[in-house]
Amino acid sequence: VETSERFKLNYRFRVDKDDFSSRRNEVSAQAKYAGANFNLDYGFFQKGAGSGEFSDREEISTSLNTLITPAWKFNASTRYDIEKEYTVNYRFGLTYMCDCFTMQLDFSKAFTQDRDVAPTDTFFVRFIFKNLGEIHTTKTKGSSFSKN
């Protein structure tokens, strides 16, 4: 449903091929106003939906993207597990754009823990030169799988 250029609402679902029971439900809302975009997403994923390696999940995520000035943008997002009552991750960043290059600075924190996976903090810097290509680096703290 798209009521205007400023508001969109989507509903997606997946049903079981044998008994038509609900396997996956997703609702998304997007609002735009004066250079700002806000997204709100709800998802329920039944065990076995998708790859089948996860149990039932119910989560909500939000994101905000906004122009601070014509050259600077700010973005932020978070994902929350409703059933387990904890924040899965969050991220925020700043982007500068000019005629010659784009610079992105991002910070993200993931709270997921498992046997060999620890919570991580990641700082990401990226330079994109309009005529030369891009350079980027990532520094991750906390994950046993990261390469610094």
pLDDT tens digits, 128-142 = 888 887 777 777 876
Adjacent-strand bridge partners of 144? none
User: How does pLDDT run across 19-78, given as a tens digit for each residue?
Assistant: 877 778 889 999 999 889 999 999 887 765 555 555 677 899 999 999 999 999 999 999
Task: Please say if the pLDDT value at position 145 is more than 50.
Answer: no
Task: Please say if the pLDDT value at position 148 is more than 60.
Answer: no
| CB 67 within 8 Å of CB 36 | yes
Tell me the C-alpha distance between 148 and 138, whole Å. 7
Tell me what the mean pLDDT of segment 11-24 comes to. 79
* Confidence at residue 131, expressed as pLDDT on a 0 to 100 scale: 82
